[in-house]
Amino acid sequence: MRSTVRGVSTYDALPYADYCFARTHPSHLAAMLSLAGYAAPPLDGARVLEIGCARGANLLPMALDLPTATCVGIDPSRSQIDEATQRARDAAITNVRFVEGSIDDEGALDGTFDYVLCHGVYSWVPAAVREATLRRTRALLAPGGVAYVSFNALPGWNALRTLREYLAAHVDGRAPPTLRVAQARGALAVLSRALHDDRSPLGRWTRDELDALADTDDAYLFHEYLADENVAFYLRDFVSAAARSGLRFVCDADPSLAAPTLRDGAPLGVLQSMDFVQHRRFHAAVLVPEETPAGRHDPAAIVRLCLASDETRARASAEDRWMAALFESLDGEGRRPLAFGVLAGRVGAALGLDRAGAMRAAVAHVGALLARVCEGSVTVHARPATWAAEVSTTPMGSPLARSQCAAGDTLTTLRHTRLAVGETERAVLALLDGTRTVDDVARAMGEATQGAVDAARTGEALAWLARNALLVR
């Protein structure tokens, strides 16, 4: 079953915007599993399924980043699946396949999967599809596999539901999606004006939410606030529903929400209580088949992982010289994940330690590092960066990003993020097919712009593309 307007999926009428989510990436999920004390499925040769893949914005970069994996996306919206398939063709990504179908259709997919990803679907489909999502996820998971299922959470969504109900009262539910969005924007503006001078805590909170909503794209506003289905759940109820389908909750995919599990092995009751304290509105559950041997949180597992950081400010607040040197080293890598052992060696060298001393110092910091992971200043990955650190003699751009250059200024990086890219950088990227030398690229840019973009500016653009994970190795 799907949400329709006169027989057409509302996602055909108003396709979902392109997002990609680093926390759904198998490299992140495998790292989270390791920290929770579980064996993660190998990334090499992994089979990855994305349920509700929309136009492939999340699965395409994953397939590109995991060339030995087989990736399958399923979605009932024909227009979105057609677009995803075309995008795969345009970027020549051959290890991905998009299937038009519903997850509750038992015959739509073959085989089992090591990673099953389902972001932004569970809360937004009817109850029967929700139940099927968990049941099919369980059935499609290979032994030792892992699933990611996100959902809108209570109690945080209690307050947002009030906004949804306000909009339901001011929007014609039978109108086409684009008209409903226009009516909703008008209604939100009226509410915002009415609250302009309201200094009460609730008035301020509502205004902040309205400001955030004013900045969202039409597809998000429609599918989150105006579409028929959007049901939020308490974590404990979701975990029970997953257990009824034979899935065990391991932790949240967001390290800051997983912190009590990863640091102390906290029971579900503690996590649920924290949701009340923090007014939690969203969860992304990491689940495994119930027969998977239970794991025990293991901070020492961090020595087998790769780390990255994008918070230069974290260095300033480093608690000791080792941590300061670590951030220095991670900064130098420009957010490229590096193996713990490599980092330990670099930090040790910076502090004048011999090999054994470097490793001892690093191992003594696993607890502090886990704390950094949980606060978000360090990210964890199951394997090192796959993209180029520097501009080679014949640089090659990410084929996915290159195929996106003509469509707009927001491109997908090999870091699994979306990034606004300037006109000159896009023009340079479009030339990077791996056959041109840096000089060839500079010459072509000079000719195309009648000298406005010279060799120095082209060099800057190339360096920017390398720093921002847009060049392949």
Q: Is 19 in the site for ligand SAM (CB under 6 A)?
A: yes
> Measured from the CB atom, is 152 or 206 closer to ligand SAM?
152
* Choice between 315 and 418, CB closer to ligand SAM: 418
Please choose, out of 114-122, 174-182, 346-354, 434-442, the segment that lies near ligand SAM by the rule CB under 6 A.
Answer: 114-122
Which is it for the CA torsion 55, 160, 216, 170, positive or negative?
positive
Q: How far apart are CA 164 and CA 225, in angstroms?
A: 5
Q: Which two tokens stand for residue 243?
A: 């257990």
Q: Does 125 help bind ligand SAM (rule: CB under 6 A)?
A: yes
2 binds ligand SAM (CB under 6 A): yes
Site membership for ligand SAM, residue 177 (CB under 6 A): no
3-state secondary structure of 398: coil
Cβ nearer to ligand SAM, comparing 220 with 387: 220
Residue of 30, 40, 54, 241 interacting with ligand SAM (CB under 6 A): 54
- Rounded to whole angstroms, how far apart are CA atoms 368 and 300? 11
Candidate residues 27, 80, 329, 377; the one interacting with ligand SAM per rule CB under 6 A: 80
Note whether 119 binds ligand SAM by CB under 6 A: yes
- Using CB under 6 A, pick the residue from 120, 156, 177, 348 that binds ligand SAM: 120
11 counts as binding ligand SAM under rule CB under 6 A: yes
306: left (phi over 0), alpha (psi -120 to 50) or beta: beta
Binding mask of the shown chain, residues 212 to 231, with x at each position contacting ligand SAM by CB under 6 A: -----------x--------
CB closer to ligand SAM out of 11 and 157 = 11
Helix (H, G, I), strand (E, B) or coil at 422: coil
User: Residues 85, 413, 416, CA angle at the centre, nearest 5°?
Assistant: 80
Is position 113 an interface residue for ligand SAM (rule: CB under 6 A)?
no
Contact range with ligand SAM by CB under 6 A, out of 68-76, 204-212, 313-321, 334-342: 68-76
Q: Does 25 bind ligand SAM (CB under 6 A)?
A: no
Nearest C-alpha neighbor of 401 from the set 418, 389, 384, 385: 418
DSSP conformation class of 329 = H
Residue 231 vs 430, nearer CB to ligand SAM: 231
Confirm if 92 and 399 have CB atoms less than 8 A apart: yes
Question: At CA 123, angle to CA 59 and CA 24, rounded to 5?
Answer: 30
Tell me how far apart the alpha carbons of residues 202 and 141 are, in angstroms, rounded to a whole number: 44
Nearest Cα residue to 275 out of 180, 156, 394: 156
- Residue indicated by tokens 């909750």: 249
Q: Nearer to ligand SAM by C-beta: 48 or 370?
A: 48
Q: Quote the Cα angle for 10-16-22, to 5°.
A: 145
User: How many positions of this chain bind ligand SAM (CB under 6 A)?
Assistant: 23
Q: Taking contact as CB under 6 A, which single stretch among the options 37-45, 99-107, 168-176, 375-383 is the one that binds ligand SAM?
A: 99-107
Contact residues: ligand SAM, CB under 6 A? 2, 9, 11, 16, 19, 51-52, 54, 74-77, 80, 102-104, 119-121, 124-125, 129, 223
